[in-house]
Amino acid sequence: MREGVEWAVHCCINLSFISPDRAVPAARLAAFHDLPTAYLNKQLNALGRAGIVSSRSGPRGGFRLGREPEKITLMDVAAAIDGSARAFLCTGIRHQGPAGRIAGPAGHRTPCTVSQAFSRAELAWRRRLARQTIAGLADEVRRANPAAPDHVRHWFDRT
């Protein structure tokens, strides 16, 4: 999974602490975690294409959440940044060499047992990510450090 996923999730949590009326420039979101702006901007644009953030151009432009943080899951963010990339890649070796000749044409019509087994595990992973929202993570941050949301909001207000 690309490191952009970590960046994007933290940015979404930070944006959830800020007034939804307020657009934050990419440079400011990057500065908060000392990240390279150009590369973070790429991730923010990917979030934008998925509707997770919305952007406004102009002097008071920037990014804000595109919908309520209760409606943004970790699966949404991971898919926006990482695509629908799968952890297990089936290259179809069961069709290669003598194995392929033994399986015969029928082997090409049935799904690969090994690939399906890994797919079941990936589905469990995706389901777990889909149950965790930005709002839920923001709540966890708040419980661990009750002053954090205010501190974050104040830092972004000082722009």
Q: Which residues contact its own copies (rule: CB under 8 A)? A: 1, 3, 5-7, 9-10, 13-14, 31-35, 74, 87-91, 93-94, 96-99, 102-103, 106-107, 110, 113-118, 120-129, 132, 137, 140-141, 144-145, 148, 151-152, 155
First to last CA, the chain: 32
157 φ, ψ (degrees, to nearest 5):
-70, -25
Residue (53 or 94) nearer to its own copies, CB: 94
Residue (5 or 50) nearer to its own copies, CB: 5
**Nearest-approach distance from CB 148 to its own copies, in angstroms:** 7
User: Beta partners for 63?
Assistant: 24, 55
**Nearest-approach distance from CB 108 to its own copies, in angstroms:** 12
47-84: string of b/e by CB count within 10 Å (b at 16+)?
A: beebebbebeeeeeebbbbbeebeebbbbbbbbbbeee
Residue (68 or 122) nearer to its own copies, CB: 122
